Amino acid sequence: MSLPLCLESPYRPIDDPAERAYHRPVVSSAAPPNQRRELSPVQRTAAQRTFHLFNLFNVCSFQCLSGNVITLYGLRVGLGSAMIGVLLACIPLAQFMPIIGRAFVNRMGNVRSMGLFWIVRYVLAAPLLAVSLFAGTGHTGVAVSLLFVGVLGFNLARGIGMTGMQPVIGHLTTPQDRGLFMSRMQLVIHGVIVMTGLLMGFILDRESPLVVFTIIVAVGMVAGGMSTVYVFRLPEPPREPRAAPLLPAIAAALRDATMRRFLILILAVFAGSFMVTPFFIVFLRQVYGMGDDAIMLMTVVGSAGAIVMALLSGLMTDRIGAQPLLVLSAGVMGAVMLPLVVAPPLPGAAAWAYGAAVFFLFMMGASGLQSASTVYFLSICKVEERLNLGALYLMATGLGGVLGSLAGGALLDLLGRALGETGSFRAFFAVLTVLFAVIALGMGGLERLGAYRARDLLSMLFSIRELRALGLLNRLQRVRSPFEEQQLIQELGASRSRVTARDLMRKLSSPRFAVRAEALSALSTVETRADLAPALITELRDHHFTTAYLAAELAGQKGVTEAIPVLRESLGSADFFLAGKAMVALARLGDRSSLARIERLLADTENPRLIIHAVTALELFGSATSIPVLVAKLDRRFSPYVRDELILAIGAILGAGSFLYPHYRHFMESAAAGVDSLRDMLAMHRRGQPLRGRVEKMLDSMENRPRFARAARALLPEAALDAQAAEQLAAGLADREIVALDRFRFLVAALITWAAIGRPAGKPASE
């Protein structure tokens, strides 16, 4: 396989909120059917099937008429390295043709112009059929001329036809199914490459007769004719308004530093790729003496590498981002040049395995870089600028291909005269190693656009957990029932993967309560992104009485301070689940301006759930000023479990939470056990000796309410508690209803004991 094949593949759009923000439908969904932009689901499925059939025949045709076959054909005709470079430079010239293709698209439409020039390209490729006739009769100059004319004509017409391909792809897909469609398209492309590579490997010999190449070209033209039939069966996208003038749009784009740097790097990438792919074949023939059959079988290995990367990038690019994949792919392409710099002497089978391993890894890197570069380009390019800047992108890749092909051939000839055959290739690939290293560093400096870092991507590739999560996300895109969706979301939450957050946030738009609830639950277990805040705010505003309370809880857990205003509004919601969670979330977010309102809500409500959540919030705030409202809320009207929350919160606010809790658990078993545990603590701490006798008498009077109240009130001033808190506790001891509560008396006894023995569990929060 050669890189020029990848140039024919259409853009791969990214499904990203930033991109969708630029999109404005031209007509409403209420427009008449013949004016609607969108295809129905049935029409879209049928059109995608037609496109895959077109792609099947088209890739077969391209494999027979371009790339490695043409390189071998040129070598058999007698071209040297420099002329092979000139021949291969004709292929990327196609990238300049959309400038002309724009006029045909505006006049004829995307599908008709694409189909017309698919026919024209095979007409212009016809001279390739006559190359072997003239080469075999000694007219080498005529044969070479026909070879150049056929390759050049084929690619110029191909470039004009490619202009309409991106709008067609956009029309056949939606943001929801585009990734799946592109993944299937890549599998079709590389599956056909594998099959054609195997067939050519069996057909070609070590020194194949020229007539065999003529047969291959003829098969390619027949397959191309079949592909054209399917082109005309594709639905025509709606006509877009005429694009702005090209040159002003290009000038404006190049003033943007990110776009300018990206295009320079892409030009360098394609230059390097066109220096590697054709001359790697020359290297295998001249240094290791491989035949045409072995080299074509190596195409299969390269396609396998591209398939592996297509599967990985299809899973990862939309979720991890394009920039880290750009860095990693360029790094791989540079790293695999190092074995070629060594170029050790190897026997036949070992040389083939050596070359196959290099080609496998190089095509992995090339495939990943091309896919990621297209995604990155689309993410920095507004929708209305795509026609013009798409032409600029194609010109950058085409210019890189032309420069790489010409420079590669010239450099090899120059090095060959100075260093000999093997030495020239070693130096040649050393230069390319440095070039791709510089490109990788440049890619690392590009704006990440919210993507992960390159080292994060590398760690994910070697993590079974992350790869499994990516597989689950891929399955999540194809679910047909909410129950299956819930199960997959549960598994994603359990995976605790870093790459699931964006897809889980998308599930917050589900019409099913259970799906949204599972998504929020899963989000609580995974690493979240900056765009979590708007998703949670939307959930808080739009889903009262369903999942808004879960969003409030998650906002507090994840520290989403942007949600504070809407959480404050939620305090007065009739949805008491939401109101309760909003109180706790505001406390977690440290919004102390909400403290007074939460205290008022606690004082006014009799809803046990609201009381418990208000108590939790006040405990998190840890302000001793909340003690009066907590003590005042102690009332026999409420269930014991509500009073338990109040008691423990008072202890925690005063700093005695860790001390109080284990003794309170003993108290819940029996009052005597709780008192005994306090006595044991008193006996263990000698520092409590000055008050020990009085505290013990207080503990002995627990069942006698008046005696206990008198003893406790006398000890409170000496317990060094917060003055306001001590005053409020004393007021509670004076209140017949409150002092009658066993739990309250135990709280006071525990606090006095804790203070008497030196506060081993910490200082009051108020301090």
Separation of alpha carbons 621 and 601, rounded Å = 15
pLDDT-derived band at 765, boundaries 50, 70, 90:
very low
Phi-psi region of 497 (alpha: psi -120 to 50; beta: other; left: phi over 0): beta
Dihedral sign (CA 416, 418, 423, 428): negative
Stated as kind and residue range, the H or E segment containing 563 is none
Q: Which two tokens stand for residue 384?
A: 């209305």
Cα Dmax for the chain: 126
pLDDT-derived band at 17, boundaries 50, 70, 90:
very low
Separation of alpha carbons 425 and 421, rounded Å = 7
Give the pLDDT score at 332: 87
Q: Which two tokens stand for residue 732?
A: 């509670």
Dihedral sign (CA 213, 219, 222, 226): negative
Separation of alpha carbons 760 and 767, rounded Å = 15
Separation of alpha carbons 346 and 547, rounded Å = 66
More confident residue, 327 or 95: 327
Go through 207-235 and write b for each residue having 16 or more CB atoms within 10 A of its CB, e for each that does not.
ebebebbbebbebbbebbeebbebbbebb
Least confident of 320-334, 614-628, 750-764: 750-764
Give the pLDDT score at 35: 41
For tokens 């630029």, the residue is 22
Give the distance from CA 679 to its chain's centroid. Answer: 60
Would you say residue 146 has pLDDT above 80?
yes
Alpha helices in 289-347 (DSSP H): 292-320, 322-335, 337-342
Check if the beta carbon of residue 695 is closer than 8 Å to that of residue 715: yes
Check if the beta carbon of residue 29 is closer than 8 Å to that of residue 91: no
According to DSSP, residue 477 is labeled T
* SS3 of residue 201 by DSSP: helix
Would you say residue 679 has pLDDT above 60?
yes
Check if the beta carbon of residue 715 is closer than 8 Å to that of residue 698: yes
Q: For residue 679, give every residue at least 6 positions away whose Cβ sits within 8 Å of its Cβ, in sequence order, or none.
A: 696, 699
According to DSSP, residue 531 is labeled T
For tokens 């070992």, the residue is 350
Question: For residue 644, which of 615, 679, 617, 675 has the smallest C-alpha distance?
Answer: 615
Separation of alpha carbons 448 and 455, rounded Å = 13
Dihedral sign (CA 407, 409, 411, 413): negative
Q: Which two tokens stand for residue 411?
A: 């450099």
Tell me what the mean pLDDT of segment 751-756 comes to.
Answer: 88
pLDDT-derived band at 445, boundaries 50, 70, 90:
confident
End-to-end Cα separation, the chain, in angstroms: 73
According to DSSP, residue 496 is labeled T
pLDDT-derived band at 392, boundaries 50, 70, 90:
confident
Separation of alpha carbons 83 and 70, rounded Å = 12
Give the pLDDT score at 488: 77
Average pLDDT, the chain: 80
pLDDT-derived band at 420, boundaries 50, 70, 90:
confident
Would you say residue 556 has pLDDT above 90?
yes
pLDDT-derived band at 686, boundaries 50, 70, 90:
low
Output the CA–CA distances (angstroms, integers) from residue 260 to 267, 270, 384, 446, in the order listed: 11, 16, 19, 11
What CATH class has 251-462? mainly alpha
Phi-psi region of 573 (alpha: psi -120 to 50; beta: other; left: phi over 0): beta
* CB count in 10 Å sphere of residue 683: 12
* CATH number, span 55-236: 1.20.1250.20
pLDDT-derived band at 570, boundaries 50, 70, 90:
very high
Share of the chain above pLDDT 90, in %: 23
Q: What is the pTM of this model?
A: 0.61
Main-chain dihedrals φ then ψ at residue 512, nearest 5 degrees = -95, 130
Check if the beta carbon of residue 192 is closer than 8 Å to that of residue 76: no
Would you say residue 241 has pLDDT above 80?
no
Separation of alpha carbons 618 and 276, rounded Å = 67
Give the pLDDT score at 19: 35
* Chain segment 691-703, per-residue pLDDT in tens: 778 888 899 898 8
Length of the chain: 767
Check if the beta carbon of residue 26 is closer than 8 Å to that of residue 38: no
Q: Which two tokens stand for residue 129?
A: 């059929």
Separation of alpha carbons 758 and 64, rounded Å = 89
Check if the beta carbon of residue 520 is closer than 8 Å to that of residue 514: no
Q: Which two tokens stand for residue 211?
A: 């007539």
pLDDT-derived band at 318, boundaries 50, 70, 90:
low
Check if the beta carbon of residue 274 is closer than 8 Å to that of residue 389: no
Tell me what the mean pLDDT of segment 611-623 comes to.
Answer: 94
Give the pLDDT score at 33: 39
More confident residue, 341 or 293: 341
* SS3 of residue 573 by DSSP: coil
Q: For residue 135, give every residue at least 6 positions away whose Cβ sits within 8 Å of its Cβ, in sequence order, or none.
A: 76, 77, 78, 143, 210
Check if the beta carbon of residue 551 is closer than 8 Å to that of residue 569: no
Dihedral sign (CA 350, 354, 357, 363): negative
Question: For residue 599, which of 631, 574, 639, 576 has the smallest C-alpha distance?
Answer: 631
* SS3 of residue 544 by DSSP: coil
Separation of alpha carbons 250 and 389, rounded Å = 7
* SS3 of residue 55 by DSSP: helix
Would you say residue 600 has pLDDT above 90?
yes
Tell me what the mean pLDDT of segment 140-158 comes to.
Answer: 87
Would you say residue 66 has pLDDT above 60?
yes
pLDDT-derived band at 7, boundaries 50, 70, 90:
very low
Separation of alpha carbons 224 and 57, rounded Å = 6
Give the distance from CA 439 to its chain's centroid. Answer: 22
More confident residue, 466 or 162: 162
Separation of alpha carbons 264 and 350, rounded Å = 38
Stated as kind and residue range, the H or E segment containing 514 is helix 513-523
Domain boundaries, the chain: 55-236, 251-462, 633-767
